[in-house]
Structure 1
Amino acid sequence: MTDYEMILTERRGDVLGITLNRPERLNAAPPQMFDEIRDALDALGDARAVLLLGAGRGFCSGADVSASAARDGEPGDATHKALSDHYHPTIQAIADLPVPVVSAVQGAAAGIGCSLALAADFCIAGESAYFLQAFVNIGLVADGGASWMLPRLIGRGRAMEMLLLGERIKAERALEWGLAYRLVPNDVLENEAWMFADRLARGPTVAMGLMRQQVAYGMSHSLAETMEREAENQRAARRTADATEGGAAFLQKRDAEFKGA
């Protein structure tokens, strides 16, 4: 795999693992880190699932734009540039992926780190995990797509609670609200996340990718438009080898062996 300064990449079977690797800073993310994540996603190759992890005690404690802000002058312009050119394109790249995505969170998932964790299709949380939108505490506004994600994940009321109060949502509450898919002990988090990502990677990942896209499409389009998109995607899915295999396995009463094609 490619060598990076701020992330580690690992391929296990059909799963691409991407680990944020600044544990001494709780994986606070400079723009470069998100550029590296996007580069790793661009090099997805034949991987059939992606797993996002954080090294050390935290997933990601938020953006680290201090260096670029000092270099680029006016803080507002520097932050706008960092979001527009680095952080937001990476969140969008995750949304556009043709394969399922899992995040594994222990400790802090704050600010842009919260958005990164929740951009996954499934978030598996360790017992120490917490999710935080602390922007209001420093006079800033949510970014990283949080204003779009949170109301859709947990409803407007809970989204406003996170955004306007700026308090930690701990793991158990995150599970109750639907921010996290599963809650596990910290010491088994990484293993559980890899196994779950592998389970997804062994599925009909072409169809899964199409479903990711049509769910996002349906959030901003009418029922009629969404059903039309479903029909188009069903036509594409029906033409895959996985659909043929799935139908044969059903008739033969056996487990399907999907190849992601």
Structure 2
Amino acid sequence: MSTASPPSTSTPLEVTREGAVATLRFSRPEAMNAINVPMAQALLAAVQDLAADVGVRAVVLCGAGKAFMAGGDLATLRADPVQGAADLLGPLNAAVQVLAGMNAPVIAKVHGAAAGAGLSLMLQADFVMAAESTRFNLAYINLGTSCDVGASWALPRLVGLRHALEIALLGDTLSASDALRLGLVNRVVPAGQLDEAAATLAHRLAHGPTLAYGAMKRLMRASFDRDLEAQLIAETAAFAGCAATQDMRAGIEAFFAKKPASFEGR
């Protein structure tokens, strides 16, 4: 029987756990969760802890209050944009790399607004579930700056170069239906169904073959940077690694027994 731990309120990031599902909730609702240095540092510390915990088999990113995240905290950048950017992006970029390398799938549960750094962070998730009222805007160009947090890496991979340039250079706001059509999100649901839909997906993934998920994530993310021969070599190595797991053995035995496999993430 799964138990939920109480949220941590000592940082602008609430960390909760229900069984194998960990939830990270950005918690600066008065600022629409605009990310500042303490939040970025808290995010990095949290994902490092989760990545080291083999009991975590799915991660959900979400925001408290009215929005997922309305970008970076401009107060951090106003006094000294150069140093402020360095202080903010150091831990934030490190956190993104940890999330990308985790075996556990990462789900972004998005509502209200995902703008600037919030949209960039959302793009790094493996799945994105959005409320139908959500609005999306890369926003950087409206501040006279280029993007960060891996947006220039993820966006053209998700939507293609032409659409990526349009989103980035025009800085227009997109609806949830626009985001779904372009491939920025996986699913759009009514706002009242978002929590349930995201929880259902998270628990489904948390009962899957976690090590195989990690191998698949890494193969897919690296595929754009390899030729076919190199990718085949990487696939062979990843398959061999999965073949040594208990989960693959359980999957094969379940196939012959004609019943669903019971995976333990080992």
Q: Tell me the TM-score range normalised by the shorter chain.
A: over 0.9
* Stretches of structure 1 lacking an aligned partner (at least 5 in a row): none
The answer to whether residue 167 in structure 2 is matched with residue 162 in structure 1 is yes
Aligned 8 A contact 2:120 2:138 in 1: no
Aligned to 1:248: 253
TM-score, normalised on structure 2? 0.93
Aligned to 2:48: 42
Q: Distance in 2 between matches of 1:246 and 1:58?
A: 40
Instruction: Tell me the alpha carbon deviations over residues 40-80 of structure 1, each in whole angstroms, 9 at most, x when there is no partner.
Output: 1111111101000111110000011524653xxx4224323
Q: Distance in 1 between matches of 2:112 and 2:192?
A: 12
Q: Distance in 1 between matches of 2:30 and 2:126?
A: 28
Describe the shift of the 1:260–1:176 C-alpha distance in structure 2 as closer, same or farther (beyond 3 A).
same
Please identify runs of 4+ aligned residues in structure 1 that moved more than 6 A: none
Amino acid at match of 1:59: F
Instruction: Tell me the alpha carbon deviations over residues 198-220 of structure 1, each in whole angstroms, 9 at most, x when there is no partner.
Output: 11111111000111111112121
Aligned 8 A contact 1:4 1:36 in 2: no
Aligned to 1:228: 233
Q: Structure 1 residue 86: deviation in Å?
A: 1.9
Aligned 8 A contact 1:65 1:82 in 2: no
Q: In structure 2, the residue corresponding to 1:11 is in which secondary structure?
A: strand
Q: Structure 1 residue 39: deviation in Å?
A: 1.2
Q: Distance in 2 between matches of 1:257 and 1:145?
A: 35
Q: Distance in 1 between matches of 2:88 and 2:16?
A: 27
What is the root-mean-square deviation in Å for CA atoms of aligned residues?
Answer: 1.4
Aligned to 1:55: 64
* Stretches of structure 2 lacking an aligned partner (at least 5 in a row): none
Aligned to 1:76: 82
Aligned 8 A contact 1:65 1:79 in 2: no
Aligned to 2:38: 32
TM-score, normalised on structure 1? 0.94
Aligned to 2:96: 91
Amino acid at match of 2:194: L
Describe the shift of the 1:37–1:231 C-alpha distance in structure 2 as closer, same or farther (beyond 3 A).
same
Percent identity of the aligned residues? Answer: 37
